[in-house]
Structure formats: C-alpha cells, structure tokens
C-alpha cells in the first residue's frame, strides 16, 4: 500500500521534550511511521497508510493538548499540555 505524508502544524508551541512525547505516542498507532517533531516550527510530520490512522493521530494530538492549527477544543474537553514550557524550541519547562 502507498504511504501518505502528513504535515500537521499544532498549537500551542512545544519544546523538545514535548516533541519526544508526541513522537512516542504517535508511533504507538498502527501503520504510522517515520514520525518527526519540529519544535521551532510547531510541526509534526509522519507517514500513514489509511485515513483512519490520520484521524487517530489528530485525535491523539488533541488529547495531548496540541490540536492542529485552526481546530479548537471544547472547554469541557480541554486538557492542558503536559509541559508548561510554552517555549518553542526550548528544552525545559
């Protein structure tokens, strides 16, 4: 099967530690591979086979408090990001 590439810009920005956690969580989804997080660009990139995996990945990012740019999380469903760094590209909170 042909793999597709997803380039997801997320909000809010994240640090390298948050990026590592995103990579770990997304790699846990079947048929998602080659996951990379770019904190300076607030960008997450990965390959997937079916739209279902893309949907699961987007949901996982929202669960982690980093929805794709333009998406909103309902107040009752909001989970603040685990890292309170708010420093794109920084290493620590």
pLDDT tens per residue across span 21-47: 999 999 999 999 999 999 999 999 999
Q: At 30, which CATH number?
A: 3.30.70.100
Residue with tokens 């997801």, as numbered in its chain: 8
Note whether residue 88 is domain-resident.
no
Q: What is the pLDDT of residue 32?
A: 97
| pLDDT < 50 positions in the chain | 87-93
Q: What are phi and psi of 6, to 5 degrees?
A: -110, 135
Q: Could you give the number of structural domains in the chain?
A: 1
Note whether residue 89 is domain-resident.
no
Note whether residue 38 is domain-resident.
yes
Note whether residue 59 is domain-resident.
yes
Show the tokens assigned to 25. Answer: 């969580």
Note whether residue 14 is domain-resident.
yes
Note whether residue 82 is domain-resident.
no
Range of the domain at 53: 4-77
């Amino acid at each position: 099967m042909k793999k597709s590439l997803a380039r997801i810009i997320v909000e809010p920005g994240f640090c390298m530690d948050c990026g590592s956690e995103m990579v770990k969580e997304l790699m846990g989804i079947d048929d998602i591979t080659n996951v990379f997080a770019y904190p300076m660009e607030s960008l997450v990139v990965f390959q997937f086979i079916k739209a279902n995996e893309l949907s699961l990945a987007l949901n996982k990012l929202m669960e982690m408090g980093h929805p794709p740019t333009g998406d909103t999380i309902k107040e009752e469903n909001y989970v603040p990001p685990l890292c309170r760094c708010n420093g794109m590209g920084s290493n620590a909170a």
